[in-house]
Structure 1
Amino acid sequence: MSTDEVAAAVPRLTRKGRATRDRIALAASNLMFERGVAATSIEDVQAAAGVNPSQVYYYFKDKRDLVRAVIAVQTEQVLGAFGSVEPRYGRLDSMEALRAWRDFAVGLEQSLDCVGGCPIGTMGSQLAETDAEARQEVAEGFARWEQAICAGLRAMRERGELRADADPDRLGLALLATLQGGLLLTQIRRDTTALEVGLDVMLDHIEAHLAH
């Protein structure tokens, strides 16, 4: 579910109300990324967003409802940076774009001192065994990410840049899985070497499927 869809589920919000709700969700997203879901209280979110308790509960019936909004926020942020059809560094439909995507991922982790990992991946790991609905929403976010990557690879095959026997769906899923594993090891090791090596090997594998 996208941020807009989540917001639309709350009836009759004014522009000011929508802005307040978005501010609360963003504050919760930042806190849950830094501290984890369990260690973030409604009171923490209230203080960070600069609102009173009644405002939090006006827009979100409970913490689980707030977590849903956070998943939507983090999914949109991640897809906008890493995986949308038109991410900030261009479509992922060429080896040049894929290499730039790799450099962006590594550079972002370095700028964060390798802290935090993937926001939606981290949320998923915290909630998968305790909140089935939240797990499903995280899975849907990953599915959108996967399809965006695969779309670029399909475009390459349609233009004849990838061989006809290349499987964009399998390559795209493998690339996303490699990124997630690399981000986890980067978070644990506080070093981007695993992320760099994993993405380089996977991109070399994709490049080996280029038509010559």
Structure 2
Amino acid sequence: MIMRKGEETRERILEIAESSVLAKGFGATSIEEVIAEAGITKSGFFYHFKDKSELARAMMLRYVEKNDRIFDDVFDRGRQLSDDPLQSFLITLKLLAEVMGDLPNGHPGCLLATFVYQERLFDREVRALTTDEVRKWSERFRAALAGVAEAYPPQDAVDINDVGDMFSCLIDGSIIMSRALGDSSILQRQILAFRSFVKMLFTPAAQAAMPRPAVVAAE
């Protein structure tokens, strides 16, 4: 879709603001520096956003929409590739790991977590947006896991809701570790580790106990 000049400017402002907030926080990000980097006038900024609070709301809505597109895509592809709920979910996790692994410099950071940690800087509407997104993210994975559990009772006594929440915790924890250790592969590896956990948790015991075919070394 081709954006008009005004839409391009608005998107540029949001992109610059998000990068700055992820790097140093919302409070330390000034309208003046965003204006300077975007190469626009002050009146040009205020044409798109009446104040910093409106900029924050627009940033969160943009972030939510971007995340929803990624999750909608991988979940849809997983369902298309298998009608079996467990296999579909395992495929979805594999696809998500590939998406995260394809990011050239690793995940840039979680805007949602940044906003939660600095919630006192935001108005009620922005705080509600962050709460709704956290809830919606967990509910998406809870629903998928509930479908899996209905077809494949878990091999251990677990609360499916907790397993769904585990994935949200895993994502943010992995992003923090990636940035702290300078290892962009951590997020992808942790998604695959969660996939292995799900596979072990729901694979029927009789099937899991079946011997694996021997591996013959090449001569």
Say whether the fold is shared (TM-score over 0.5).
yes
Distance 1:210 1:115 in 2: 29
Distance 2:191 2:159 in 1: 18
Distance 1:89 1:51 in 2: 40
SS of residue paired to 1:94:
helix
Shift in Å, 1:184: 1.0
Aligned to 2:44: 55
Per-residue Cα deviation, 1:91-141 (whole angstroms, up to 9, x for no partner)? 484212212323433443xx21x574323223332x224436333322222
Distance 1:206 1:88 in 2: 16
In the alignment, which of 81, 96, 99 is matched to residue 101 of structure 1?
96
Larger radius of gyration between Structure 1 and Structure 2: 2
Shift in Å, 1:61: 2.1
Q: Relative to 1, partners in 2 of residues 1:117 and 1:76: Cα closer, same or farther, differing over 3 Å?
A: same
SS of residue paired to 1:87:
helix
In the alignment, which of 90, 103, 109 is matched to residue 77 of structure 2?
90
Aligned to 1:8: none
Aligned to 1:25: 14
State the identity %: 23
Give the number of equivalent residue pairs: 191
Distance 2:140 2:43 in 1: 39
2:75 matched to 1:80? no
Distance 2:137 2:180 in 1: 23
Shift in Å, 1:86: 2.8
The one-letter code sitting in structure 1 at the alignment partner of 2:44 is Q
SS of residue paired to 1:38:
coil
TM-score, normalised on structure 1? Answer: 0.70
Shift in Å, 1:174: 0.9
Q: Relative to 1, partners in 2 of residues 1:196 and 1:182: Cα closer, same or farther, differing over 3 Å?
A: same
CA contact (8 A) 2:152 2:203 kept: yes
Distance 2:24 2:201 in 1: 42
CA contact (8 A) 2:22 2:110 kept: no
Q: Relative to 1, partners in 2 of residues 1:52 and 1:123: Cα closer, same or farther, differing over 3 Å?
A: same
CA contact (8 A) 1:99 1:203 kept: yes
In the alignment, which of 139, 143, 158 is matched to residue 151 of structure 1?
143
The one-letter code sitting in structure 2 at the alignment partner of 1:97 is T
In the alignment, which of 187, 204, 211 is matched to residue 196 of structure 2?
204
CA contact (8 A) 2:14 2:59 kept: yes
Q: Relative to 1, partners in 2 of residues 1:196 and 1:26: Cα closer, same or farther, differing over 3 Å?
A: closer
Distance 1:49 1:89 in 2: 36
> Pairwise mapping of residues 51-200 of structure 1 onto structure 2 (< 5 A)?
51-81=40-70, 84-87=71-74, 90-91=77-78, 93-108=88-103, 111-112=104-105, 114=106, 116-125=108-117, 127-131=118-122, 133=124, 134-158=126-150, 160-161=151-152, 163=154, 167-192=159-184, 195=187, 198-200=190-192
SS of residue paired to 2:72:
coil
Q: Which runs of 5+ in 1 are unaligned?
A: 1-14
> RMSD over aligned Cα, in angstroms?
3.3
CA contact (8 A) 2:178 2:185 kept: yes
Q: Which runs of 5+ in 2 are unaligned?
A: 80-87, 205-219
After superposing the two structures, state which structure 1 stretch, 160-169 or 143-152, moved more: 160-169
